[in-house]
Amino acid sequence: MEPIPEDSIVRINVGGIRFQCYRKALNTFPDSKLASIEKLATECYRNDSNEFFFDRNPLLFAFILDGYRKGLLHLPKDHCGITYKEELEFWNLSARWVAPCCWETLYKCDSDVETMKQLLISFKRTNEKMLVKEGSDDLKTRLWQFLEIPNSSKHAMVIMLVSVIDTLSGKTGLNACASSVVAD
């Protein structure tokens, strides 16, 4: 595709929602994907509707496009930071373009994940001190192992994680973060 004139309007469809902006606005973040939108034409330009199409989250893209207009990215406060990171990565936007007022939003899940890991470590240490004779056939002992010692079985680990999540359920976006901890 030929370079689009700076003062032309570019039509960008994200997840079914159409956005428009001046081509020159896309130069705000020079290393980002949209700054070289013409290079994406083969992959993303739809001749039938004369627009670029990206199958991404339109709600977050509204904030991203606004960042191109303002020169800094601001993020809605009600999403998990991991989601933002994935979007920034897709659009090839560096986190340095996120405004300082939104750093907490971007990184809050990091601290939640860290808190979860610390809780898991201290939980394991506490229980490992309570030695249980391995291979015991005693039903009561095995039941206790199942419920109380995280390493005794994967089921016990799941129960423990659920109880940790319950304990911290007041934290925003924690459930989304919990899946990342489990995945680790």
Alpha-helical segments (H) within 45-153: 58-70, 81-90, 103-129, 139-148
Order of strands, sheet of 17-22, starting from the edge strand that comes earlier in the sequence: 17-22, 9-14, 51-54, 45-46
| Listed residue (27, 33, 31) closest to 7, CA to CA | 27
Binding of Zn ion by 177 (CB under 5 A)? no
* 74 is an interface residue for Zn ion by CB under 5 A: yes
101 lines the binding site for Zn ion (CB under 5 A)? yes
Question: How many residues can be counted in the chain?
Answer: 184
Structure tokens at 12: 């960008």
Which residue number, 40 or 99, has a Cβ lying nearer to Zn ion? Answer: 99
* Residue of 26, 88, 102, 181 interacting with Zn ion (CB under 5 A): 102
Note whether 88 binds Zn ion by CB under 5 A.
no
Residue 101 or residue 182: which is nearer to Zn ion going by CB? 101
- Residue 99 binds Zn ion, judged by CB under 5 A: yes
Supply the minimum distance, in Å, between the C-beta of residue 149 and Zn ion.
Answer: 44
Question: Within a 10 A sphere around the Cβ of 37, how many other Cβ atoms?
Answer: 19
What are the tokens at 180?
A: 């990342």
Between 53 and 84, name the residue whose CB sits nearer to Zn ion. Answer: 84
Under 8 Å between Cβ of 113 and 181: yes
Q: Are strands 17-22 and 51-54 parallel, antiparallel or unpaired?
A: unpaired
Tell me how far, at minimum, the Cβ of 108 lies from Zn ion, in Å.
13
Closer CB to Zn ion, 6 or 110, in the complex: 110
User: Nearest approach, Cβ of 150 to Zn ion (angstroms)?
Assistant: 39
95 binds Zn ion (CB under 5 A): no
Residues of this chain that bind Zn ion (CB under 5 A) = 74, 99, 101-102
